[in-house]
Amino acid sequence: MRPARARRPLIGVLAMQGAFAEHVRALEKSGARTRLVRAPEDLEGLDGIVLPGGESTTMTMLMERTGLLKPLRRAISHGLATLATCAGMIVLARDVVDGMADQHGLGLLDIGVRRNGYGRQVDSFEAALDITGLGGKSFPGVFIRAPLVESTGSVEVIARHNGDAVAVRQGRIVALCFHPELTGDLRLHREFVKLAAS
């Protein structure tokens, strides 16, 4: 008798703006089916969602304009597995220290962040990170105009750089200051595919 094949979860990638195509490729290489998410109906039947890097104010403004912000907040608060990278972390945060006055994010992740806290594009860097539960060698963290986590509440910090939290987990949410989709290392995407399938 053949062993049952593992279920291939359907993972949406928010495709309002930003680096979503790289996440699609990494997820598909990691065994997931994918769907671009641009409207509320795109959330139906998803096992997980990725909130990619990009420009957080533009992303939230476009989500409000398309009517996606509230349904997405509801889906994540009801347990939709979520991977947020860079600007995606800002969109999820309960507090954005230097956010625009009219910027309304999801407010679901118990952290406070500062946008571009590591500097501008010219200050981009790569750092070897030890990530809890990943095992093996360090992970190549690519930081591009990355948010700085200034406070944490009821989250588990799963990686630090120079003492600052750069990766956190809260229930079925994983949020990263860096860009795993820009490396050849699929370990974080594979772990997220497993989380979405569970």
Choose the catalytic residue: 23, 161, 177, 181.
181
The closest alpha carbon to 180, from 169, 189, 171, 168, belongs to 189
Domain annotation covers residue 2: no
The torsion region of residue 100 among left (phi > 0), alpha (psi -120 to 50) and beta comes to beta
Domain annotation covers residue 4: no
Choose the catalytic residue: 23, 86, 161, 177.
86
What's residue 115's pLDDT? 84
Does the structure show a pLDDT above 70 at 82? Answer: yes
φ, ψ of residue 66 to 5 degrees: the values are -90, 0
**pTM for the complete prediction?**
0.93
CA distance between the termini of the chain: 24
What's residue 12's pLDDT? 98
Domain annotation covers residue 94: yes
What's residue 7's pLDDT? 78
Q: Is 179 marked active-site?
A: yes
- Looking at every residue in the chain, the average pLDDT score rounds to 91
Domain annotation covers residue 43: yes
Q: What is the CATH number of the domain that holds 161?
A: 3.40.50.880
What's residue 135's pLDDT? 81
CB contact set of 171 (below 8 Å; sequence gap of 6+) = 79
Q: Is 104 marked active-site?
A: no
Domain annotation covers residue 163: yes
Q: Is 55 marked active-site?
A: no
User: Averaged over 168-174, what is the pLDDT?
Assistant: 98
φ, ψ of residue 99 to 5 degrees: the values are -70, 165
Does the structure show a pLDDT above 90 at 108? Answer: yes
Domain annotation covers residue 3: no
Does the structure show a pLDDT above 60 at 80? Answer: yes
Domain annotation covers residue 152: yes
Domain annotation covers residue 5: no
Q: What percent of the chain has pLDDT over 70?
A: 91
User: Averaged over 45-66, what is the pLDDT?
Assistant: 93
What's residue 43's pLDDT? 98
Does the structure show a pLDDT above 60 at 29? Answer: yes
Q: What is the tally of structural domains in the chain?
A: 1
Choose the catalytic residue: 23, 161, 179, 189.
179
φ, ψ of residue 194 to 5 degrees: the values are -65, -45
Q: Which domain holds residue 108?
A: 10-197
